[in-house]
Structure 1
């Protein structure tokens, strides 16, 4: 099993009042129901106020790296990427469980 974790940090001038951020959050909420390779899907806003904190998290569980590869190119996931790319930078980690 692979745990796929992504942390998003808004670009300068973007916050949760921005309609693009709310739209990206809505799309992220739907990814788990749209991408069949995902066994689990979590997402959420950060509640910390620390300067080093990121703004949003998505986390999925997939069978193996081949499933991760399919997830990455899935059209709905690509739609989510386009939305988040416009408003944020992110870091990713894929770990074996």
Structure 2
């Protein structure tokens, strides 16, 4: 299994309605994208999180599934309509999860 992790920095406060809308849109993706095995999104609770205020974690079968997820129209729509307008920065990591 592959774990896709994205740390976000938003250009608006965490309580901005646009952040809540982005969260709802992200959490709806598993119903639209079959490659998603699990998805979680929420505020970064690390005391030393710095500017990285929110975290997205998506579990997929492998790198090929990640590619299909990234290119899926539903994912592209969420990025375009909800994330890009408020995203000030992002940091991405993908790694294999072993049992």
Q: What is residue 35 of structure 1 aligned with on the other side?
A: 33
CA distance in 1, matches of 2:52, 2:58: 18
Q: What is residue 70 of structure 1 aligned with on the other side?
A: 68
Show structure 1 runs of 4+ deviating over 2 A.
Answer: 16-19, 46-51
Aligned length: 95
Q: Is the 8 A contact 1:46 1:53 kept in 2?
A: no
What's the Cα RMSD here? 1.6
Q: What is the Cα deviation at residue 54 of structure 1?
A: 1.4
**How is 1:41-60 mapped onto 2 (pairs within 5 angstroms)?**
41-48=39-46, 50=48, 52-60=50-58
Gaps spanning 5+ residues in structure 2: where?
Answer: none
Q: What is residue 92 of structure 1 aligned with on the other side?
A: 92
Give the TM-score of the pair, scaled to structure 1: 0.85
Kindly indicate which of the two structures has a greater share of residues assigned to helix.
1
